[in-house]
Chain A
């Protein structure tokens, strides 16, 4: 109406103008002008009388929301079919077509991650490596300012939540609104390493069975090579016949040569038809344990302490113990025939030359090497320690300097000096040993302080002491005996010597800790010796800089989070020290060509600062699948320390999602909104949502004002008429 009146007014004005222009001069124009003015006035009055209005956008409160959701997880970057556009691209078109079918004039277009849906392609950097579809839908609904009455979801249905079907149904029903879940994508030709199956641990130098599951989808039957690597080393290879649309298990056996975490990578040869090669590899890790710690125990003379050490060593089932107890020295006069004795030769040369490499640790207890002509071989023993052999010297009348070791090369590798004999007095016999601050974090002391003074055991009892000198460089006293004015005597000390480790226990009375009811007890002593063997055989982590992780197994998209701990030269926590952390994905030995999901996500380097306990937390987020190596670098005293760990990151379904899951989508459609209140038809939009803004016809002229204006106009007209009658002429003349 408003437009019609406006047009009529404009027409009148235009017609009047034309008439004026075509009329004659002066008098004719005036008459015509009056006629036009009268017509214009009449038109204006009629227009005003019609209650004119003007369309004005007015914000209208929204009461409900309808969502149009597109899955933006990484599997949506795959082609919807071989050679076709991406699932994401196609899905956006599907979603917009669906929007036209709804009665909602303004549905909200969002991605499953919550971002506004744009027109661009889904990039590797911005796609979500995890998809927990139902959870994300619920989160999307919670973020809306008004209740969601329905949603249309376009997705390939690949969900990494891992919910069983029953839980999926429950979660969908609990959404509170209906979801029209529209699956997209078809199965693509692909070989996928689904899993590597093995035990959590295996023993070194024994066969470890490994089962590798290979999925073949939409491919013709074919042979393919499956390989297993440790680092760059090929551990095994098999060519297997892969049936179409089936899982084939490949069994291999490998053998680990070293103790510690072992990261394996399985790979199946990429095929030319495949659209995805990232899932042709699969990384995993397992712990390789020492099946037997080979220990040489040399006891200089039968003793109670020797017997308790033997029991403690044998308490661990994985100790292969070779003992030589000196029951009679070469100088002892023989009064009976050798045939009547059970004595055997002590093969000094053989043990400390050729056989030494067969041991992980050597225990020298109360042993004097001199009567056995061992001096020529002590240098070999010291060199073996530097190259990685573990050594502990336990006290007794024939140990340390009393055993003549101060004149041998072994003095240079022990944790304590031996050349201070007689230089100072021993602490009083009844002085109790104490744990040092260095011992709190030292791996040799793991769990030991807790075993003392607790409910399970008493304090460390005083023990007979052996005179030893102060600590060597890079050695730490872990248990000491305080001595007023002279300094504490290092009762238990440890040291790293090149590749090897050494320990000194300056007493032959530690058996009292196990035997006496007032002492810490047998569990304490057995734990001590277990720690000794673990430390000496280097089965534990690095002593001064260590990495520990919250989870040993990761899935792509998750976080590699943990704690780095730094100890100083004295094994005390190094507080306030910067530690650099770097994470990198190790290259696959048999990488395929670049494929649909190929991406390189650099993991940023981190710098953390240790707290008072020498610890700092770190986290590398959104780690991709493969082998992740994390390195930590710090300075421990004057020496730089380096620690590293390799984690296996298994691929998530998003990284290997060539096969859509329409069943999930159908279940979502079927069960979502079962508990919703009111009408929640997601697709048709029944009970449509109000628009966010409306064009409202706002009146330009209130009716009261119109009446007033008409009245004024009439009065003015009457007054002008009377003026004309009095003077016979209008004011215009």
Chain B
């Protein structure tokens, strides 16, 4: 259990809130610090470590949503459209490979400031010192795990480059690739 500290947040514009089970409330100071951090440009990934469908995963996500609503005001995260740059900030995820569930997000100043991962993205990446996966059941297969890794990288690229891949200069190349089998 980690509290929200203003000084710690000010050093990191990208943060991941990972957990299992219902999180502890942030408290008024934590909510205020989180709101200020998000407004200043912070990007947060809320990633439940538990498998999809588990009760502890649902409890964590509900608790995180409530805490963030306390900071940003009562609003529900919305699905990130399939055409959003999040899915092509590095890998072309919606155009190639198996379709993954859409992420949900809260926007601040037009930017996806808080993203709720629909699957345990980071759990799929976590490895032990001996090379074994920490959460073997986080992905059903190696291909499935690869997709989760790519989604995590895309989120990181989005956090660092924002909508760079929406620039007009990219359009002809991406359209060409989408048109190919």
Task: State the A residues within 8 Å of B (CB).
Answer: 302-304, 306-308, 310-311, 321-325, 327, 336, 339-345, 511, 514-518, 522
* Contact, CB under 8 Å: B162 / A515: no
A344 touches B173 (CB 8 A): yes
Binds A, one of B20-28, B67-75, B90-98: B90-98
Chain A residues with CB under 8 Å of B88's CB are 342
Q: Which one of A304, A321, A323, A518 lies within 8 Å of B13 (CB-CB)?
A: A304
Contact with A along B120-162 (1 / 0, CB 8 A): 0000000000000000000000000000000000000101111
- Asked if A517 contacts B170 (CB within 8 A), the reply is no
The answer to whether A514 touches B157, judged by C-beta atoms less than 8 angstroms apart, is no
Q: Residue on A with the closest CB to B41?
A: A515
Q: Is the CB of B177 within 8 A of A339?
A: yes
Chain B residues within 8 Å of A311, by CB:
41, 162
Residues on the B chain within 8 Å of A342, using CB: 88-92, 165, 170, 174
Q: Enumerate chain B residues within 8 angstroms of A511, measured Cβ to Cβ.
A: 13, 41
- Hey, which chain B residues are within 8 Å of A344, CB to CB? 169-170, 173-174
- Chain A residues within 8 Å of B160, by CB: 302-304, 306-307
B166 to chain A, nearest CB (A): 10
If A340-B92, A511-B41 are given as contacts, then 5 extra A-B residue pairs at C-beta distance below 8 Å, sorted by A number, are A302-B160, A321-B167, A325-B164, A340-B97, A341-B90
Once A342-B92, A344-B170 are accepted as A-B contacts, the answer to whether A327 and B41 lie under 8 Å apart by CB is: no
A518 to B33, CA, bound (A): 13
User: Hey, which chain B residues are within 8 Å of A516, CB to CB?
Assistant: 10-11, 40
A341 touches B159 (CB 8 A): no
Which residues of A lie under 8 Å from residue B96 when comparing CB positions? 339-340
Chain A's nearest CB lies how many Å from the CB of B107?
Answer: 15
Q: What residues on B are CB-neighbors of A310 within 8 Å?
A: 161-162, 164
Interface centre among A306, A342, A514, A515 (most CB of B within 10 A): A342
CB of B36 closer than 8 Å to a CB of A: yes
In the complex, which of the residues B92, B161, B173, B174 contacts A302, with contact meaning CB atoms closer than 8 Å? B161
Q: Does B14 interact with chain A (Cβ within 8 Å)?
A: yes
A321 to B163 Cα, complex, angstroms: 12
Cβ–Cβ < 8 Å partners of B36 in chain A:
517
Whole-angstrom distance between the alpha carbons of A457 and B14 in the complex?
Answer: 23
Query: Please, could you name 8 A-B residue pairs with CB atoms under 8 Å apart, sorted by A?
Result: A307-B41, A340-B97, A342-B89, A342-B165, A516-B11, A517-B36, A517-B40, A522-B41
Closest-CB distance, B10 to chain A (whole angstroms): 5
Chain A residues within an 8 Å CB radius of B165: 342
B side interface size, CB within 8 A:
30
Given contacts A341-B90, A342-B89, contact A307 B10 (CB under 8 A): no
> Is B6 interfacial (CB 8 A cutoff)?
yes
Cα-based distance from A341 to B13 in the complex (angstroms): 26
The CA of A484 and the CA of B164, in the complex, are separated in Å by 42
Looking at chain A's contact residues, is the secondary structure mostly helix, strand, loop, or mixed? Answer: mixed
Contacts of B14 in A (CB 8 A): 304
User: How far is B36's CA from A514's CA once the two chains are assembled, in angstroms?
Assistant: 12
Q: Which residues of A contact B173 (CB under 8 A)?
A: 344-345
Which residues of A are found within 8 Å of B13, using beta-carbon distances?
304, 307-308, 511, 515
In the complex, are the beta carbons of A306 and B161 less than 8 A apart? yes
Given known A323-B167, A325-B164, A516-B10, contact A307–B40 (CB-CB < 8 A)? no
Complex Cα gap A308–B160 (Å): 9
Complex Cα distance, B162 from A311, in Å, reads 9
**A514 CB contact (under 8 Å) in B40, B90, B170:** B40
How many whole Å from B16's CB to the nearest CB in chain A? 15
Residue interface bits B1-31, CB-to-A below 8 A is 1, else 0: 0000010001101100000000000000000
Contacts of A302 in B (CB 8 A): 157, 160-161
Residue of A nearest to B42 (CB): A515
Report the minimum CB–CB distance from A293 to chain B (whole Å): 16
Q: Mark B80-94, 1 if CB is under 8 A from A, else 0.
A: 000000001111100
Give CA–CA (A356, B106) in the complex, Å. Answer: 39
- Structural contact, B92 and A307, CB atoms closer than 8 A: no
The 9 A-B pairs at the shortest CB distance, nearest first, are namely: A302-B160, A344-B173, A342-B88, A516-B10, A340-B96, A515-B40, A307-B160, A304-B13, A342-B165
Enumerate chain B residues within 8 angstroms of A341, measured Cβ to Cβ: 90-92
In the assembled complex, the Cα of A516 lies from the Cα of B6 at a distance in Å of 10
Contacts of A325 in B (CB 8 A): 161, 164
- Report A354 CB to chain B, min CB distance, Å: 15
Q: Is the CB of A339 within 8 A of B180?
A: yes
B residues within 8 A CB of A343? 90
Inter-chain contacts of B97 with A (CB < 8 A): 340
B95 to chain A, nearest CB (A): 9
The contact of B161 among A307, A322, A515, by CB within 8 Å, is A307
Contact call A323/B164, Cβ cutoff below 8 A = yes
Cα of A514 to Cα of B10 in the assembled complex, Å: 10
Contact of B159 among A307, A339, A340, A522 (CB under 8 A): A307
A518 x B169 contact (CB < 8 A): no
**A436 to nearest B CB, angstroms?**
27
Contact status A322-B162, CB under 8 Å? no
A303 to B164, CA, bound (A): 13
Q: Which residues of chain A have C-beta atoms less than 8 A from B170's C-beta?
A: 342, 344
- List the B side residues contacting A339 at CB < 8 Å: 92, 96, 177, 180
Q: Out of B6, B10, B90, which one reaches A515, CB within 8 Å?
A: B10
Given contacts A325-B164, A339-B177, A517-B10, contact A308 B41 (CB under 8 A): yes
Asked whether B167 lies within 8 Å of A322 as measured between CB atoms, the reply is yes
By the criterion CB–CB under 8 Å, are A522 and B40 in contact? Answer: yes
Q: Pick from B89, B91, B167: contact of A340, CB below 8 A.
A: B91
User: How far does the Cβ of B164 sit from chain A's closest Cβ, in whole Å?
Assistant: 6
How far apart are B147's CB and chain A's nearest CB, in angstroms? 11
How far in angstroms is the closest Cβ of chain B from A115?
67
**CB of B153, distance to nearest CB on chain A (Å):** 10
Complex CA distance for A311 and B160, rounded to whole angstroms: 11
Cβ distance B67 to chain A, nearest Cβ, rounded Å: 20
Q: Report B-chain residues with C-beta under 8 Å of the C-beta of A324.
A: 169
- How far apart sit A197 and B165, CA to CA, in the bound complex (Å)? 44
Q: How far is the CA of A142 from the CA of B164 in the complex (A)?
A: 73
A340 to B95, CA, bound (A): 8
**Closest CB of chain B to A332's CB: distance in Å?**
12
Q: Please indicate the chain B residues that have their CB under 8 angstroms from the CB of A515 in the complex.
A: 10, 13, 40-42
CB neighbours of A336 from chain B (8 A) = 91
Q: Across the interface, which residues of A come within 8 angstroms of B162, CB to CB?
A: 307, 310-311
For the complex formed, measure the closest distance between the CB of A363 and the CB atoms of chain B, giving whole angstroms: 14
The CA of A251 and the CA of B159, in the complex, are separated in Å by 51
User: How far, in whole Å, are A325 and B160 apart by their CA atoms in the complex?
Assistant: 10
Complex CA distance for A341 and B89, rounded to whole angstroms: 9
Task: Report whether B10 and A322 are in contact in the complex, using a CB–CB cutoff of 8 Å.
Answer: no
Provide the residues of chain A in CB contact with B164, threshold 8 Å.
310, 323, 325
A311 to B159, alpha carbons, bound, how many Å?
Answer: 12
Minimum Cβ distance to chain B for residue A316 (Å): 15
